[in-house]
Amino acid sequence: MKISLIMTFIMLLWIAILLGLGSLLLRWLLYKGTDKYRRQREDAPSICRSLGETLKQERTRRGMTQEFVAEALGVSRQAVSKWENGTSDPSTSNLLALAKLYGVDAGELLKNVEN
């Protein structure tokens, strides 16, 4: 009787260890899966949801500040902020000036924008 209790305890201990290792394995697999997904998202071409996000992305990619862009275009920093926040859209002439400043075609700024 005493041996069967010890054997039962040992079996339960092994099951607990295996479940613990299974839990660790599951956590590791989840981490690796999300890490792989995150890296795929970083490598994928970014699709912006709005023109403002595209403008901000292009500006930050080039290391420019809103103040610099505003001075280069002859507008206020608040105007640049509103364009990037989506509060307002730049005029056609300002959009062309932004494209020239960022060194891209104006179509590129509009290409990845969702409606």
Domain tally for the chain?
Answer: 2
What are the Cα distances from residue 26, in Å, to 1, 19, 31, 105, 109?
37, 10, 9, 47, 42
pTM metric for this prediction: 0.58
Query: Same domain for 11 and 27?
Result: yes
- Give 63's DSSP letter: T
Which residue range forms the structural domain that includes residue 91?
51-111
Cβ(55)–Cβ(34) under 8 Å?
A: no
- Comparing CA positions, the residue from 94, 96, 60, 93 lying closest to residue 79 is 94
Q: What is the CATH number of the domain that holds 66?
A: 1.10.260.40
> Residue ranges of the chain with pLDDT lower than 70?
1-2, 9, 13, 16-18, 21-26, 28-30, 35-48, 114-115
* Structure confidence at residue 110 (pLDDT): 87
Clarify whether residues 34 and 55 are in a common domain. Answer: no
- Cβ atoms of 98 and 73 within 8 Å: the answer is yes
